[in-house]
Structure 1
Protein backbone atom coordinates (compact mmCIF):
# COMPACT_ATOMS: atom_id res chain seq x y z
CA UNK A 1 0.00 0.00 0.00
CA UNK A 2 2.82 2.40 0.85
CA UNK A 3 4.48 1.76 -2.52
CA UNK A 4 1.15 2.27 -4.31
CA UNK A 5 0.57 5.58 -2.54
CA UNK A 6 4.11 6.68 -3.36
CA UNK A 7 3.54 5.78 -7.01
CA UNK A 8 0.29 7.73 -7.02
CA UNK A 9 2.02 10.72 -5.43
CA UNK A 10 4.70 10.75 -8.13
CA UNK A 11 2.13 10.58 -10.93
CA UNK A 12 -0.03 13.22 -9.20
CA UNK A 13 2.92 15.63 -9.00
CA UNK A 14 3.96 14.99 -12.59
CA UNK A 15 0.41 15.43 -13.90
CA UNK A 16 -0.06 18.63 -11.93
CA UNK A 17 3.04 20.30 -13.32
CA UNK A 18 2.21 19.13 -16.86
CA UNK A 19 -1.17 20.87 -16.73
CA UNK A 20 0.28 23.83 -14.86
CA UNK A 21 3.08 24.64 -17.32
CA UNK A 22 2.44 22.59 -20.48
CA UNK A 23 5.59 20.55 -19.83
CA UNK A 24 7.34 18.63 -17.12
CA UNK A 25 5.58 15.32 -16.42
CA UNK A 26 8.51 13.21 -17.52
CA UNK A 27 11.19 15.55 -16.17
CA UNK A 28 9.62 15.53 -12.71
CA UNK A 29 8.27 11.96 -12.57
CA UNK A 30 10.84 9.83 -14.41
CA UNK A 31 13.70 10.02 -11.87
CA UNK A 32 11.33 8.97 -9.07
CA UNK A 33 9.57 6.33 -11.19
CA UNK A 34 12.80 4.58 -12.17
CA UNK A 35 13.96 4.58 -8.56
CA UNK A 36 10.62 3.08 -7.45
CA UNK A 37 9.87 0.66 -10.31
CA UNK A 38 13.26 0.14 -11.93
CA UNK A 39 14.53 1.70 -15.18
CA UNK A 40 12.55 -0.35 -17.71
CA UNK A 41 9.20 -0.26 -15.92
CA UNK A 42 9.62 3.37 -14.85
CA UNK A 43 10.29 4.56 -18.40
CA UNK A 44 7.43 2.45 -19.79
CA UNK A 45 4.97 3.94 -17.29
CA UNK A 46 6.23 7.46 -18.01
CA UNK A 47 5.69 6.87 -21.74
CA UNK A 48 2.11 5.67 -21.17
CA UNK A 49 1.15 8.43 -18.73
CA UNK A 50 2.78 11.27 -20.66
CA UNK A 51 1.20 10.09 -23.91
CA UNK A 52 -2.26 9.98 -22.33
CA UNK A 53 -1.88 13.46 -20.81
CA UNK A 54 -0.70 14.89 -24.14
CA UNK A 55 -3.64 13.29 -25.96
CA UNK A 56 -6.16 14.89 -23.59
CA UNK A 57 -4.31 18.22 -23.65
CA UNK A 58 -4.20 18.28 -27.45
CA UNK A 59 -8.00 18.22 -27.75
CA UNK A 60 -8.35 21.96 -27.22
CA UNK A 61 -5.38 23.14 -29.29
CA UNK A 62 -5.04 20.88 -32.31
CA UNK A 63 -5.87 23.79 -34.65
CA UNK A 64 -2.55 25.43 -33.73
CA UNK A 65 -0.40 22.40 -34.62
CA UNK A 66 2.25 23.23 -37.25
CA UNK A 67 2.47 20.30 -39.72
CA UNK A 68 5.57 21.76 -41.38
CA UNK A 69 7.55 21.38 -38.15
CA UNK A 70 5.79 18.30 -36.77
CA UNK A 71 6.35 16.02 -39.79
CA UNK A 72 10.20 16.13 -39.66
CA UNK A 73 10.20 16.15 -35.82
CA UNK A 74 8.01 13.05 -35.54
CA UNK A 75 9.52 11.20 -38.50
CA UNK A 76 13.02 11.64 -37.06
CA UNK A 77 11.82 10.50 -33.63
CA UNK A 78 10.32 7.33 -35.12
CA UNK A 79 13.75 6.44 -36.53
CA UNK A 80 15.64 6.77 -33.22
CA UNK A 81 13.11 5.36 -30.72
CA UNK A 82 14.22 1.74 -31.41
CA UNK A 83 17.83 2.65 -30.56
CA UNK A 84 16.77 4.16 -27.23
CA UNK A 85 14.64 1.13 -26.38
CA UNK A 86 17.52 -1.21 -27.28
CA UNK A 87 19.84 0.66 -24.93
CA UNK A 88 17.33 0.41 -22.08
CA UNK A 89 17.22 -3.38 -22.43
CA UNK A 90 20.97 -3.92 -22.78
CA UNK A 91 22.70 -1.75 -20.18
CA UNK A 92 23.19 -2.95 -16.57
CA UNK A 93 20.85 -1.32 -14.03
CA UNK A 94 23.38 1.03 -12.37
CA UNK A 95 24.78 2.14 -15.72
CA UNK A 96 21.26 2.78 -16.99
CA UNK A 97 20.45 4.87 -13.91
CA UNK A 98 23.62 6.86 -14.50
CA UNK A 99 22.76 7.45 -18.17
CA UNK A 100 19.14 8.36 -17.45
CA UNK A 101 20.05 10.70 -14.61
CA UNK A 102 22.69 12.31 -16.81
CA UNK A 103 20.24 12.83 -19.67
CA UNK A 104 17.65 14.41 -17.38
CA UNK A 105 20.22 16.64 -15.66
CA UNK A 106 21.83 17.75 -18.91
CA UNK A 107 18.49 18.43 -20.57
CA UNK A 108 17.27 20.53 -17.64
CA UNK A 109 20.45 22.59 -17.55
CA UNK A 110 20.19 23.30 -21.30
CA UNK A 111 16.56 24.39 -20.99
CA UNK A 112 17.31 26.55 -17.93
CA UNK A 113 20.13 28.20 -19.82
CA UNK A 114 17.90 28.81 -22.84
CA UNK A 115 20.62 27.65 -25.18
CA UNK A 116 20.63 29.19 -28.66
CA UNK A 117 21.82 26.56 -31.13
CA UNK A 118 21.99 27.44 -34.85
CA UNK A 119 21.67 23.73 -35.73
CA UNK A 120 18.18 23.71 -34.18
CA UNK A 121 16.60 25.99 -36.79
CA UNK A 122 14.52 25.19 -39.85
CA UNK A 123 13.83 21.70 -41.17
CA UNK A 124 17.33 20.51 -40.28
CA UNK A 125 16.80 21.67 -36.72
CA UNK A 126 13.47 19.85 -36.54
CA UNK A 127 15.15 16.61 -37.66
CA UNK A 128 17.97 17.00 -35.11
CA UNK A 129 15.55 17.82 -32.27
CA UNK A 130 13.15 15.04 -33.23
CA UNK A 131 15.86 12.40 -33.51
CA UNK A 132 17.41 13.40 -30.19
CA UNK A 133 14.03 13.55 -28.48
CA UNK A 134 12.95 10.16 -29.81
CA UNK A 135 16.11 8.47 -28.53
CA UNK A 136 15.88 10.18 -25.13
CA UNK A 137 12.18 9.40 -24.78
CA UNK A 138 12.58 5.68 -25.39
CA UNK A 139 15.77 5.43 -23.32
CA UNK A 140 14.91 7.68 -20.38
CA UNK A 141 11.32 8.86 -20.83
CA UNK A 142 12.35 12.50 -21.36
CA UNK A 143 11.92 13.47 -25.00
CA UNK A 144 10.62 17.00 -24.43
CA UNK A 145 13.74 19.12 -23.82
CA UNK A 146 15.11 18.90 -27.41
CA UNK A 147 11.71 20.05 -28.70
CA UNK A 148 11.68 22.88 -26.15
CA UNK A 149 15.08 24.02 -27.41
CA UNK A 150 13.91 23.77 -31.02
CA UNK A 151 10.86 25.93 -30.21
CA UNK A 152 13.07 28.45 -28.40
CA UNK A 153 15.41 28.75 -31.38
CA UNK A 154 12.44 28.97 -33.77
CA UNK A 155 11.00 31.88 -31.79
CA UNK A 156 7.73 30.18 -30.86
CA UNK A 157 5.52 31.73 -28.19
CA UNK A 158 4.20 29.61 -25.30
CA UNK A 159 0.78 29.61 -26.98
CA UNK A 160 2.36 28.12 -30.12
CA UNK A 161 4.63 25.73 -28.24
CA UNK A 162 2.11 23.92 -26.01
CA UNK A 163 -0.20 22.33 -28.66
CA UNK A 164 2.76 21.36 -30.85
CA UNK A 165 4.58 19.84 -27.87
CA UNK A 166 1.39 17.92 -27.02
CA UNK A 167 1.11 16.62 -30.60
CA UNK A 168 4.75 15.54 -30.58
CA UNK A 169 4.24 13.96 -27.15
CA UNK A 170 1.32 11.84 -28.34
CA UNK A 171 3.27 10.38 -31.25
CA UNK A 172 6.71 9.96 -29.69
CA UNK A 173 5.20 8.29 -26.62
CA UNK A 174 3.13 5.99 -28.83
CA UNK A 175 6.34 5.03 -30.66
CA UNK A 176 8.09 4.50 -27.32
CA UNK A 177 5.29 2.32 -25.90
CA UNK A 178 5.40 0.22 -29.06
CA UNK A 179 9.16 -0.24 -28.56
CA UNK A 180 9.33 -0.56 -24.75
CA UNK A 181 5.98 -2.24 -24.09
CA UNK A 182 3.36 -1.53 -21.43
CA UNK A 183 4.50 -1.58 -17.78
CA UNK A 184 3.63 -4.73 -15.83
CA UNK A 185 1.43 -3.26 -13.10
CA UNK A 186 -1.39 -4.87 -11.15
CA UNK A 187 -4.96 -3.73 -11.73
CA UNK A 188 -4.93 -1.93 -8.39
CA UNK A 189 -1.77 -0.02 -9.31
CA UNK A 190 -3.25 1.04 -12.63
CA UNK A 191 -6.24 2.32 -10.69
CA UNK A 192 -3.95 4.43 -8.48
CA UNK A 193 -2.15 5.78 -11.56
CA UNK A 194 -5.34 6.78 -13.41
CA UNK A 195 -6.82 8.40 -10.30
CA UNK A 196 -3.59 10.33 -9.71
CA UNK A 197 -3.54 11.56 -13.32
CA UNK A 198 -7.12 12.84 -13.02
CA UNK A 199 -6.51 14.55 -9.68
CA UNK A 200 -3.23 15.98 -10.97
CA UNK A 201 -5.00 17.48 -13.96
CA UNK A 202 -7.58 19.15 -11.73
CA UNK A 203 -4.90 20.45 -9.36
CA UNK A 204 -2.72 21.75 -12.19
CA UNK A 205 -5.58 23.65 -13.81
CA UNK A 206 -6.58 25.17 -10.47
CA UNK A 207 -3.02 26.27 -9.71
CA UNK A 208 -2.44 27.66 -13.21
CA UNK A 209 -4.62 30.67 -12.44
CA UNK A 210 -2.72 31.44 -9.22
CA UNK A 211 0.95 30.81 -9.94
CA UNK A 212 2.87 32.93 -12.51
CA UNK A 213 3.98 30.80 -15.46
CA UNK A 214 7.65 31.78 -15.14
CA UNK A 215 7.77 30.80 -11.47
CA UNK A 216 5.94 27.53 -12.13
CA UNK A 217 8.38 26.52 -14.88
CA UNK A 218 11.35 27.29 -12.66
CA UNK A 219 9.87 25.07 -9.95
CA UNK A 220 9.40 22.24 -12.45
CA UNK A 221 12.99 22.51 -13.65
CA UNK A 222 14.38 22.60 -10.11
CA UNK A 223 12.38 19.49 -9.17
CA UNK A 224 13.59 17.74 -12.31
CA UNK A 225 17.20 18.76 -11.65
CA UNK A 226 17.00 17.36 -8.12
CA UNK A 227 15.59 14.09 -9.43
CA UNK A 228 18.23 13.80 -12.14
CA UNK A 229 21.10 14.37 -9.73
CA UNK A 230 19.61 11.85 -7.27
CA UNK A 231 19.37 9.25 -10.03
CA UNK A 232 22.98 9.86 -11.05
CA UNK A 233 24.04 9.41 -7.42
CA UNK A 234 22.13 6.12 -7.14
CA UNK A 235 23.72 4.90 -10.37
CA UNK A 236 27.21 5.78 -9.14
CA UNK A 237 26.51 4.00 -5.84
CA UNK A 238 25.28 0.93 -7.72
CA UNK A 239 28.44 0.82 -9.85
CA UNK A 240 30.38 -0.13 -6.72
CA UNK A 241 28.60 -3.46 -6.72
CA UNK A 242 29.36 -4.34 -10.34
Structure 2
Protein backbone atom coordinates (compact mmCIF):
# COMPACT_ATOMS: atom_id res chain seq x y z
CA UNK A 1 0.00 0.00 0.00
CA UNK A 2 1.73 3.16 -1.20
CA UNK A 3 1.16 6.53 0.41
CA UNK A 4 -0.38 7.92 -2.78
CA UNK A 5 -2.82 5.03 -3.07
CA UNK A 6 -3.85 5.39 0.57
CA UNK A 7 -4.49 9.11 0.11
CA UNK A 8 -6.77 8.43 -2.87
CA UNK A 9 -8.67 5.80 -0.86
CA UNK A 10 -9.05 8.22 2.07
CA UNK A 11 -10.35 10.99 -0.20
CA UNK A 12 -12.87 8.61 -1.78
CA UNK A 13 -14.06 7.44 1.65
CA UNK A 14 -14.39 11.03 2.87
CA UNK A 15 -16.64 12.09 -0.02
CA UNK A 16 -18.58 8.84 0.20
CA UNK A 17 -19.37 9.52 3.86
CA UNK A 18 -20.55 13.04 3.00
CA UNK A 19 -22.91 11.64 0.34
CA UNK A 20 -24.21 8.97 2.71
CA UNK A 21 -25.04 11.50 5.42
CA UNK A 22 -26.73 13.98 3.08
CA UNK A 23 -28.73 11.63 0.85
CA UNK A 24 -29.02 8.47 2.98
CA UNK A 25 -27.23 6.45 0.30
CA UNK A 26 -24.48 7.01 -2.21
CA UNK A 27 -21.46 5.77 -0.29
CA UNK A 28 -21.18 2.53 -2.22
CA UNK A 29 -22.28 4.03 -5.54
CA UNK A 30 -19.66 6.71 -5.23
CA UNK A 31 -16.65 4.72 -4.03
CA UNK A 32 -17.23 1.12 -5.18
CA UNK A 33 -15.98 1.53 -8.78
CA UNK A 34 -12.97 3.57 -7.67
CA UNK A 35 -11.96 1.13 -4.93
CA UNK A 36 -12.30 -1.78 -7.36
CA UNK A 37 -9.78 -0.03 -9.63
CA UNK A 38 -7.46 0.83 -6.73
CA UNK A 39 -7.66 -2.35 -4.62
CA UNK A 40 -8.83 -4.99 -7.06
CA UNK A 41 -12.29 -6.44 -7.48
CA UNK A 42 -12.48 -8.59 -4.36
CA UNK A 43 -10.57 -6.26 -2.04
CA UNK A 44 -12.45 -3.22 -3.33
CA UNK A 45 -15.90 -4.71 -2.69
CA UNK A 46 -14.88 -5.85 0.80
CA UNK A 47 -13.52 -2.39 1.54
CA UNK A 48 -16.82 -0.85 0.43
CA UNK A 49 -18.71 -3.13 2.81
CA UNK A 50 -16.40 -2.34 5.74
CA UNK A 51 -16.72 1.42 5.19
CA UNK A 52 -20.45 1.17 4.53
CA UNK A 53 -20.94 -0.79 7.74
CA UNK A 54 -19.06 1.79 9.82
CA UNK A 55 -20.66 4.86 8.23
CA UNK A 56 -24.22 3.48 8.34
CA UNK A 57 -23.81 2.36 11.96
CA UNK A 58 -22.70 5.86 12.93
CA UNK A 59 -25.51 7.56 11.03
CA UNK A 60 -28.13 5.08 12.27
CA UNK A 61 -27.89 6.30 15.86
CA UNK A 62 -28.36 9.88 14.73
CA UNK A 63 -31.53 9.19 12.74
CA UNK A 64 -33.06 6.35 14.80
CA UNK A 65 -36.30 8.23 15.50
CA UNK A 66 -37.15 8.17 11.77
CA UNK A 67 -36.42 4.46 11.15
CA UNK A 68 -39.37 2.40 9.91
CA UNK A 69 -38.58 -0.98 11.51
CA UNK A 70 -41.44 -2.78 9.78
CA UNK A 71 -40.09 -1.68 6.41
CA UNK A 72 -36.58 -2.65 7.52
CA UNK A 73 -37.67 -6.23 8.25
CA UNK A 74 -39.39 -6.64 4.87
CA UNK A 75 -36.20 -5.47 3.15
CA UNK A 76 -33.56 -7.07 5.35
CA UNK A 77 -34.76 -10.68 5.59
CA UNK A 78 -34.92 -11.22 1.79
CA UNK A 79 -31.62 -9.31 1.47
CA UNK A 80 -29.90 -11.81 3.77
CA UNK A 81 -31.36 -14.69 1.72
CA UNK A 82 -29.86 -13.17 -1.44
CA UNK A 83 -26.59 -12.03 0.08
CA UNK A 84 -25.30 -15.36 1.42
CA UNK A 85 -25.28 -17.40 -1.83
CA UNK A 86 -24.15 -14.35 -3.83
CA UNK A 87 -21.25 -13.81 -1.41
CA UNK A 88 -20.15 -17.43 -1.80
CA UNK A 89 -20.30 -17.17 -5.60
CA UNK A 90 -18.42 -13.86 -5.60
CA UNK A 91 -15.49 -15.32 -3.65
CA UNK A 92 -14.72 -17.72 -6.48
CA UNK A 93 -15.16 -15.30 -9.38
CA UNK A 94 -11.83 -14.20 -10.96
CA UNK A 95 -10.84 -10.54 -10.59
CA UNK A 96 -11.23 -9.29 -14.19
CA UNK A 97 -14.81 -10.55 -14.69
CA UNK A 98 -15.65 -9.17 -11.24
CA UNK A 99 -14.50 -5.70 -12.33
CA UNK A 100 -16.75 -5.97 -15.39
CA UNK A 101 -19.65 -7.17 -13.25
CA UNK A 102 -19.19 -4.29 -10.80
CA UNK A 103 -19.10 -1.73 -13.61
CA UNK A 104 -22.16 -3.17 -15.37
CA UNK A 105 -24.21 -3.51 -12.16
CA UNK A 106 -23.52 0.06 -11.10
CA UNK A 107 -24.24 1.47 -14.58
CA UNK A 108 -27.49 -0.49 -14.93
CA UNK A 109 -28.54 0.34 -11.38
CA UNK A 110 -27.89 4.04 -11.89
CA UNK A 111 -29.80 4.06 -15.17
CA UNK A 112 -32.77 2.25 -13.65
CA UNK A 113 -32.79 4.61 -10.68
CA UNK A 114 -32.83 7.63 -12.98
CA UNK A 115 -35.64 6.19 -15.08
CA UNK A 116 -37.66 5.37 -11.96
CA UNK A 117 -37.63 9.04 -10.98
CA UNK A 118 -39.71 9.84 -14.06
CA UNK A 119 -42.23 7.03 -13.88
CA UNK A 120 -45.79 7.63 -12.64
CA UNK A 121 -46.05 3.99 -11.48
CA UNK A 122 -46.79 3.45 -7.79
CA UNK A 123 -46.17 0.06 -6.17
CA UNK A 124 -47.90 -1.25 -3.05
CA UNK A 125 -47.84 -4.37 -0.91
CA UNK A 126 -45.05 -6.41 0.66
CA UNK A 127 -43.91 -8.39 -2.40
CA UNK A 128 -42.10 -5.41 -4.03
CA UNK A 129 -40.31 -4.73 -0.73
CA UNK A 130 -39.09 -8.32 -0.59
CA UNK A 131 -37.92 -8.27 -4.22
CA UNK A 132 -36.06 -4.98 -3.69
CA UNK A 133 -34.39 -6.36 -0.56
CA UNK A 134 -33.35 -9.62 -2.27
CA UNK A 135 -31.86 -7.80 -5.28
CA UNK A 136 -30.04 -5.37 -2.98
CA UNK A 137 -28.51 -8.27 -1.06
CA UNK A 138 -27.25 -9.89 -4.26
CA UNK A 139 -25.80 -6.71 -5.77
CA UNK A 140 -24.17 -5.72 -2.50
CA UNK A 141 -22.44 -9.09 -2.24
CA UNK A 142 -21.21 -9.04 -5.83
CA UNK A 143 -20.48 -5.34 -6.39
CA UNK A 144 -20.71 -3.66 -2.98
CA UNK A 145 -23.76 -1.73 -4.19
CA UNK A 146 -27.07 -2.37 -2.45
CA UNK A 147 -28.67 1.06 -2.63
CA UNK A 148 -30.08 1.31 -6.17
CA UNK A 149 -32.60 -1.53 -5.81
CA UNK A 150 -34.16 -0.11 -2.65
CA UNK A 151 -33.86 3.40 -4.06
CA UNK A 152 -35.87 2.37 -7.13
CA UNK A 153 -38.47 0.79 -4.85
CA UNK A 154 -38.63 3.94 -2.69
CA UNK A 155 -39.26 6.10 -5.73
CA UNK A 156 -42.02 3.84 -7.05
CA UNK A 157 -43.63 3.44 -3.61
CA UNK A 158 -43.41 7.18 -2.94
CA UNK A 159 -41.55 6.45 0.31
CA UNK A 160 -40.89 9.75 2.20
CA UNK A 161 -37.23 10.76 1.94
CA UNK A 162 -36.61 11.20 5.68
CA UNK A 163 -37.90 7.72 6.60
CA UNK A 164 -36.22 6.20 3.55
CA UNK A 165 -32.79 7.64 4.38
CA UNK A 166 -33.06 6.63 8.04
CA UNK A 167 -34.32 3.07 7.40
CA UNK A 168 -31.53 2.37 4.92
CA UNK A 169 -28.89 2.73 7.62
CA UNK A 170 -29.72 -0.43 9.65
CA UNK A 171 -30.45 -2.15 6.34
CA UNK A 172 -26.94 -1.36 5.05
CA UNK A 173 -25.43 -2.45 8.37
CA UNK A 174 -27.21 -5.81 8.06
CA UNK A 175 -26.24 -6.64 4.50
CA UNK A 176 -22.65 -5.47 5.05
CA UNK A 177 -22.30 -7.73 8.11
CA UNK A 178 -23.72 -10.72 6.24
CA UNK A 179 -21.52 -10.16 3.19
CA UNK A 180 -18.33 -9.64 5.21
CA UNK A 181 -18.98 -12.68 7.41
CA UNK A 182 -19.76 -14.92 4.43
CA UNK A 183 -16.79 -13.86 2.34
CA UNK A 184 -14.16 -13.71 5.07
CA UNK A 185 -15.18 -17.09 6.47
CA UNK A 186 -14.38 -18.55 3.06
CA UNK A 187 -11.26 -16.53 2.23
CA UNK A 188 -9.90 -14.03 4.78
CA UNK A 189 -7.01 -13.13 2.46
CA UNK A 190 -9.33 -11.02 0.30
CA UNK A 191 -9.36 -8.24 2.89
CA UNK A 192 -7.15 -5.29 1.78
CA UNK A 193 -3.77 -5.53 3.58
CA UNK A 194 -4.00 -2.24 5.47
CA UNK A 195 -1.95 -1.60 8.57
CA UNK A 196 -3.81 -0.77 11.79
CA UNK A 197 -2.95 2.92 11.47
CA UNK A 198 -4.31 2.99 7.90
CA UNK A 199 -7.63 1.50 9.08
CA UNK A 200 -7.70 4.14 11.82
CA UNK A 201 -7.31 6.85 9.17
CA UNK A 202 -10.15 5.33 7.16
CA UNK A 203 -12.40 5.42 10.24
CA UNK A 204 -11.35 9.02 10.91
CA UNK A 205 -12.25 10.03 7.34
CA UNK A 206 -15.66 8.45 7.74
CA UNK A 207 -16.28 10.39 10.97
CA UNK A 208 -15.10 13.66 9.44
CA UNK A 209 -17.15 13.02 6.29
CA UNK A 210 -20.32 12.36 8.30
CA UNK A 211 -19.72 15.54 10.33
CA UNK A 212 -19.11 17.54 7.14
CA UNK A 213 -22.25 16.04 5.59
CA UNK A 214 -24.33 17.16 8.55
CA UNK A 215 -23.01 20.71 8.20
CA UNK A 216 -23.58 20.74 4.43
CA UNK A 217 -27.00 19.13 4.65
CA UNK A 218 -28.69 22.41 5.55
CA UNK A 219 -27.40 24.04 2.34
CA UNK A 220 -27.88 21.17 -0.14
CA UNK A 221 -31.16 19.71 -1.29
CA UNK A 222 -31.49 15.92 -1.43
CA UNK A 223 -31.99 15.95 -5.20
CA UNK A 224 -28.81 18.00 -5.68
CA UNK A 225 -26.77 15.61 -3.55
CA UNK A 226 -28.11 12.56 -5.38
CA UNK A 227 -27.42 14.16 -8.75
CA UNK A 228 -23.77 14.76 -7.82
CA UNK A 229 -23.39 11.20 -6.56
CA UNK A 230 -24.92 9.77 -9.74
CA UNK A 231 -22.60 11.78 -12.02
CA UNK A 232 -19.45 10.72 -10.16
CA UNK A 233 -20.64 7.12 -9.91
CA UNK A 234 -21.27 6.95 -13.67
CA UNK A 235 -17.66 7.96 -14.34
CA UNK A 236 -16.32 5.53 -11.76
CA UNK A 237 -18.42 2.61 -12.99
CA UNK A 238 -17.41 3.26 -16.59
CA UNK A 239 -13.75 3.29 -15.55
CA UNK A 240 -14.11 0.00 -13.64
CA UNK A 241 -15.85 -1.58 -16.63
CA UNK A 242 -13.12 -0.46 -19.04
CA UNK A 243 -10.39 -1.73 -16.70
CA UNK A 244 -12.08 -5.11 -16.40
CA UNK A 245 -12.43 -5.43 -20.18
CA UNK A 246 -8.77 -4.55 -20.73
CA UNK A 247 -7.72 -7.09 -18.07
CA UNK A 248 -9.83 -9.77 -19.76
CA UNK A 249 -8.25 -8.99 -23.12
CA UNK A 250 -4.71 -9.00 -21.73
Shorter-normalised TM range: over 0.9
Q: Deviations over 1:138-179 (max 9, x none)?
A: 111101111111111221111121111112111111111111
C-alpha deviation, 1:53, in angstroms? 1.1
C-alpha deviation, 1:68, in angstroms? 2.8
Which has the higher mean CA deviation after the structures are superposed, 176-185 or 223-232?
176-185
C-alpha deviation, 1:209, in angstroms? 1.9
Identify which of 30, 34, 39 aligns with 1:32.
Answer: 34
Counterpart residue number, 1:216? 225
Which has the higher mean CA deviation after the structures are superposed, 103-112 or 79-88?
79-88
Count of matched residue positions in the alignment of Structure 1 and Structure 2: 241
SS in 1 for 2:126: helix
Counterpart residue number, 1:170? 173
Counterpart residue number, 1:149? 152
Residues 1:134 and 2:143 aligned together: no
Q: Deviations over 1:45-76 (max 9, x none)?
A: 11111111111111133233223322221111
Instruction: Describe how 1:54-93 pairs up with structure 2 within 5 A.
Output: 54-93=56-95
Unaligned runs of 5+ in 1: none
**Residues 120 and 129 in structure 1, CA contact (< 8 A), matched pair in contact too:** no
Unaligned runs of 5+ in 2: none
Kindly report the root-mean-square deviation, in angstroms, between the aligned alpha carbons of the 2 structures: 1.8
Counterpart CA distance in 2 for 1:144 and 1:69 is 15
Structure-1-length-normalised TM-score? 0.93
Structure-2-length-normalised TM-score? 0.90
